């Protein structure tokens, strides 16, 4: 009976491990166009309308040098560097005055073509993005 339970537990553990996104610089590198932006912790929760999102055409771009930039409405919005830690992207944003601000994006999904990442807290946002070809 003990051997049988091991044969059941091992496949379950492999499935659980396979479900987690595999964060790597290589997998992140490229331009990711925002397809959905939600604020699930807001009161009340809200989601940016598809039409409004299409109008500002936001994206985040990751480079192989571990740098990132966000463009919103055709204008540079923010930039900085990042490190990876499990399912987290530890972001360091360079502010206009030269100071920095640190925050974390939790990545709940990452495939060759899609990413879902979110920031935590009451002002947190959840972004679904599609990788540019």
Count the domains in the chain.
1
Query: Using DSSP, how many helices (H) and how many strands (E) does the chain show?
Result: 3, 9
> Kindly report the CA angle at 16 between 132 and 62, in degrees rounded to 5?
25
Measured between alpha carbons, how far is residue 114 from residues 51, 61, 84, 100 in Å? 20, 13, 18, 28
Q: Of 100, 93, 53, 89, give the one whose Cα is nearest residue 69.
A: 93
Domain range for residue 106?
21-131
CA atoms within 13 A of residue 59's CA, in its CB half-sphere: 14
List beta partners, residue 105. 89
- Tens of pLDDT along the chain (133 residues) come to 555 454 445 444 444 444 555 799 999 999 999 999 998 887 777 888 888 999 999 999 999 999 999 999 999 999 999 999 999 999 999 999 999 999 999 999 999 999 999 998 778 899 999 999 9
CB within 8 Å of 105: residues ≥ 6 apart: 88, 89, 91, 117, 118, 119
Domain-embedded: residue 84: yes
Q: CA Rg, the chain, in Å? A: 18
88: domain CATH number is 2.40.128.280
Domain-embedded: residue 83: yes
Nearest-angstrom CA–CA distance, 8 and 82: 38
């Amino acid at each position: 009976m003990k051997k049988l339970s091991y044969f059941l537990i091992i496949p379950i553990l492999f499935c659980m491990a396979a479900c987690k996104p595999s964060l790597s610089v290589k997998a992140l590198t490229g331009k990711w166009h925002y397809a959905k932006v939600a604020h699930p912790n807001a009161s009340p929760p809200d989601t940016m309308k598809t039409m409004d999102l299409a109008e500002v055409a936001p994206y985040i771009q990751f480079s192989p040098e571990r740098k990132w930039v966000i463009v919103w409405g055709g204008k540079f919005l923010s930039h900085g560097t990042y490190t990876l830690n499990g399912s987290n992207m530890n972001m360091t944003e360079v502010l206009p005055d030269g100071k920095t601000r640190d925050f974390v994006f939790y990545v709940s999904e990452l495939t060759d073509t899609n990413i879902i990442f979110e920031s935590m807290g009451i002002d947190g946002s959840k972004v679904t993005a599609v990788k540019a070809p």
